[in-house]
Amino acid sequence: MSSEQTPAPDTAAAGTATEPRPRKLTYAAVLAALEGAALVAGGLGALVLGFTGAPDDRQQAVTLGITLVVLALLPLLAARGLLLRRSWSRGPAVITQVMALPVAYNLIHADSLAVPAGIVLTAVAVSALVFLVNGETTRALGIKGPGRTE
């Protein structure tokens, strides 16, 4: 078969794979991965305290640990999808950030050392949301606006 008869690959699909990943998309993926890692660390910490420490309620500590580790899957999968430019990954990443904001609010209004953690979580969630809704990120993920066919 000659090169004239060989069908050319779809240039729109091929172009996105060869273009460099936008920085804002990478930043959003890194922030989501950091949130996932923090959830895993918190979950493992609760599990360790539940098994080795003297929590008020061992079953509650273990349940919290397992729940945090399972919840960590959402931002970790979203981060991987963002790095691989999967359009589906923006939804879970946005949901993660929106869910983080009430948690950050509660941490900020606590009278403890949790206040700095709340400030950091607010900054991370708002920054990630800004990166995720950015036009450059949207185009890199191949997401089209409502009513747009191009």
Query: What is the number of structural domains in the chain?
Result: 1
* Residues contacting residue 131 through CB under 8 Å, at least 6 positions apart: 24, 25, 27, 28, 31, 137
| Position 44 in a domain | yes
CA 141 vs. chain centroid, Å, equals 14
pLDDT of residue 26: 96
Output the six-digit token pair for 68. 């945090």
The residue type at 117: A
The pTM of the full predicted model, rounded to 2 decimals, is 0.81
Q: How far lies 27's CA from each of 37, 47, 97, in Å? A: 15, 30, 14
Q: What percent of the chain has pLDDT above 70?
A: 85
Contact between 47 and 65 (Cβ < 8 Å): yes
Residue 9 lies in a domain: no
Domain membership flag for residue 13: no
Range of the domain at 38: 21-140
Does residue 3 sit within a domain?
Answer: no
Question: Does any domain span residue 93?
Answer: yes
Asked if pLDDT for residue 81 goes beyond 60, the answer is yes
Establish if 8 belongs to a structural domain.
Answer: no
Amino acid at 64: L
Q: How confident is the model at residue 149 (pLDDT cuts 50, 70, 90)?
A: low
Nearest alpha carbon to residue 69 among 51, 47, 52: 47
